[in-house]
Amino acid sequence: MSLRAQAAPPVELRPEGSAATGLVQRAMQVRELGIVAVLALVLVIATIGNSRFLTGQSIRDMLLDVSIVAMLAVGQTLVVVMRHLDFSVGSVLGFTAFMTGQLFVAHPGMSIVLVIVIGMLVGAGFGVINGALVTIGRVPALVATLGMLYVIRGVDYTWAHGKQINASDMPSAFLSLGSGNIAGIPYLALIALAVVLVVGAYLRTFRSGRELYAIGSNPQAATLAGIRVSRRSFLAFVASGTLAGLAGVLWAARFGTVDATIGTGVELQVIAAVVVGGVAIFGGSGSVYGAALGAVLLSVIASALVALKVPSFWGEAINGLLLLVAISLDRLLQQRLSALLRRRRVRHAA
């Protein structure tokens, strides 16, 4: 009897919950439109300062640069919406990139598809470890994934032992995956776009995808509602690791030369892209489309600074400023939304 009494209030409050969801979705849409506006402004300024900024080749280069970060940002989004962070993605990328080179050195005729699958499975394996530490070991995600960052990087350094693998050690068909294009659009950009669309559709369409937002909004309420919080969190880390593994293989195809330093610091770029793209660091809101837009914006800013011959340290300063602004906006949105819902509850009670 008492359990039924506890289950009744959520049914009565459902209209408010749907209203809150609608408000958050509208706010995120405004954020994403804001990113597009800033992106357009940067493009205009860079083109005025350097007329060669938007040539066909420079556009292709920017698409290539952003593709891998965008894929990582998609996986990171799945984790961030549940109030977690995955700092290990850069190390996973570096490990699988070097592993890809080693596989081709040891087995020159190895299938490219098989190498991609192995890279994704290895990334998924690291995701399993992260997910187990967080959900079974109850280790905070920040601590667990930061620890894995150093563990994976250490194993990578020990394995590489100062060795570098060059493009000449890899098949030309594999390297064309990182440099080829269809109608001027790089293969990497098309793969990244496919990842964004598939994961975006999953989060929007499937119940398990929507449950990630419920967990991030209120983990305790999600548990009471019967959502398998630990299972969803575990699978999100596995998905993040899988995409990081795929990104590592594609990194090797893109650059051809790999060593143990690959991917150093990439995790910070990815987190910055996700947060700038409107995915709330406090969990519960955001989209992979916004995260991808954030990655595009940061990449275009970096390219624009180079085209305008601005010192590179300004790029890091701008990225840091955008990150602080995005977090502040998320916090302001959360406070305004909470205040609005409190006022609505008062009116309903009256």
* Residue bearing the bigger pLDDT, 233 or 325: 233
Question: What's the whole-model pTM score?
Answer: 0.85
Domain ranges of the chain: 16-349
* Residue bearing the bigger pLDDT, 98 or 308: 98
Does 235 score more than 90 pLDDT?
Answer: yes
Average pLDDT rounded to a whole number, residues 241-269: 93
Q: 288 and 203 in contact (C-beta within 8 Å)?
A: yes
Q: What is the pLDDT of residue 153?
A: 95
pLDDT confidence band for 203 (50 / 70 / 90) = very high
Mean pLDDT score across all residues of the chain: 85
What is the second-level CATH architecture of the domain 16-349? Orthogonal Bundle (1.10)
170: which residues sit within 8 A by CB, 6+ positions away? 100, 101, 104, 252, 253, 256
The length of the chain is 350
Which tens digit of pLDDT belongs to each residue from 135-186? 999 999 999 999 999 999 999 999 988 889 999 899 999 999 998 899 889 9
For 159, 312, 314, the CA distances from 322, given in Å and listed in that order, are 37, 16, 12
